[in-house]
Amino acid sequence: MFKIKEKPEDFFVREIIDIPLGDSGEYAYYKLHKVDLNTIDVVRELAKRFSLPVKNITFAGLKDK
C-alpha cells in the first residue's frame, strides 16, 4: 500500500553542491530553510527585500510536483 505524502517533513530535500566555494568573489552562497513556501515566491521576496533583480537570484534544484 502507498502512503500519500501530506506533511512538509515528507518533502525534505538536501541539495548536494559540488562546486568549490571560496571566501571572496562576486557571488554569495546562502543556505535557506523554507516550509510551506513556494520557491519562486521566495525568490521574488528576496529580490524585493534586497533591491535586486529576480534574475540575479538563483537556486539549486526545483522538485517536480
Catalytic machinery residues: 64
3-state secondary structure of 63: coil
